[in-house]
Amino acid sequence: MIRTGITGLGMSVPDQVLTNQDLEKMIDTSDEWIRARTGIVERRIVSDNQSTLDLCFEAGTEALQNAEIEARDLDLIIVATVTPDMVFPATACLLQDRLGAPAAAAFDLEAGCSGFVYGLITGAQFINSGAYSRIMVVGAETLSRITDWEDRNTCVLFGDGAGAVVLERVEKGGLLGFDLGSDGAGGSFLDLPAGGSRQPASQETVAQKLHYIRMDGNQVFKFAVKAMGQAALKALKKAGLSGEDIDLFIPHQANRRIIDAAGRKLGLPGEKVFVNLDRYGNTSGASIPLALYEAVAEGMVKSGDIVVLSGFGAGLSWAAAVLEWN
């Protein structure tokens, strides 16, 4: 049996920090409200000349160095994003060119905030089948570009960043189980309505602010509280494990209250739940690889540990993966 593991990690966040105090000057909100309702303190925002590709390139370059492989060794690049540089070509193709990975196939994957875990599991199938040996999966977003900075219901939540991993065949451990799912009936709770074939960009769509994130926060909250813990439990079951076996839970960083609810569902003490939401906000596809990177960098993951990743987001969608770290 072929096993797939993560052999390299990289991350990139923009230098510019936007604090809750900065937001107080922009909209009718308060640091106290944002901290209490979300757990977010600050987030990173790209500069005018930066794009999702730039963050992908920095995170991807570090992941290659960390895995000790060259870009030309890559067989496939998957970029999970809802903020590609353009509708087409895929940001993964632009990344393939910038990294110098001529042998790599490349495509973007759009599964909202579940995108990185969807990509990780998709990549693992190519390795497990024996088709490919080295795959890069990047979760990257510039959500600041699709945020309505006058909408206090959404703009306090989001931030920009990227996290990348290299997947390779490993001797032991690696991906032990996963759960993927979607509930398209809830699609309208979190969407960006215009700019596609349904409502092409026009002066009206711009005037009506239809190129920004729209969200029914309460509906998404209810879905998330259920989905994130449930997906993790299903993935654990497929791996023959349970909540007690988790050494570190790395949830999608959307809201502290959602994270705490998932941790309770899994029966985990606080120290087994990784949180960096306070510093980056919700970075959608980037959130889980950014958190994984920082957890490893902080020495919170040791060889043999069971690490569970779990995300939810637009679609609605969810995705969880159980990894034995080596």
Enumerate binding residues for ligand COA (CB under 6 A).
29, 33, 37-38, 113, 152-153, 156, 190, 215, 217-218, 220-221, 224, 254-255, 282, 313
Tell the smallest beta-carbon distance from residue 77 to ligand COA (Å).
24
Active-site entry in 20, 66, 255, 282: 282
Tell the smallest beta-carbon distance from residue 292 to ligand COA (Å).
17
Q: Is the peptide bond before 143 cis (omega within 30 degrees of 0)?
A: no
Tell the smallest beta-carbon distance from residue 30 to ligand COA (Å).
6
Active-site entry in 56, 66, 93, 113: 113
Contact 220, 157 (CB under 8 A): no
Tell the smallest beta-carbon distance from residue 223 to ligand COA (Å).
8
Looking at beta carbons only, is 71 or 190 nearer to ligand COA?
190
Q: Report the C-alpha gap between 234 and 230 in whole angstroms.
A: 6
Looking at beta carbons only, is 97 or 260 nearer to ligand COA?
260
Active-site entry in 20, 56, 155, 252: 252
Sheet holding 174-182, edge to edge: 174-182, 317-324, 306-313, 248-251
Residues 6 or more apart in contact with residue 320 via CB below 8 angstroms: 117, 178, 179, 228, 231, 232, 234, 235, 308, 309, 310, 311
Catalytic residue flag (residue 49)? no
CA neighbours closer than 13 Å in the CB half-sphere of residue 234: 15
Q: Which residue is nearest to ligand COA (CB)?
A: 217
Tell the smallest beta-carbon distance from residue 252 to ligand COA (Å).
6
3-state secondary structure of 87: coil
Looking at beta carbons only, is 125 or 153 nearer to ligand COA?
153
Q: Report the C-alpha gap between 253 and 97 in whole angstroms.
A: 30
Looking at beta carbons only, is 169 or 265 nearer to ligand COA?
265
Task: Tell how far CA 14 is from the center of its chain.
Answer: 16
3-state secondary structure of 215: strand
Looking at beta carbons only, is 50 or 282 nearer to ligand COA?
282
Contact 320, 235 (CB under 8 A): yes
Looking at beta carbons only, is 9 or 113 nearer to ligand COA?
113
Catalytic residue flag (residue 252)? yes
Closest Cα partner for 76 from 149, 153, 12, 129? 129
Query: What is the b/e burial string over 243-257, where b = at least 16 CB atoms within 10 angstroms of the residue's CB?
Result: beebbbbbbbbbbbe
3-state secondary structure of 208: coil
Tell the smallest beta-carbon distance from residue 94 to ligand COA (Å).
25
Active site residues: 113, 252, 282
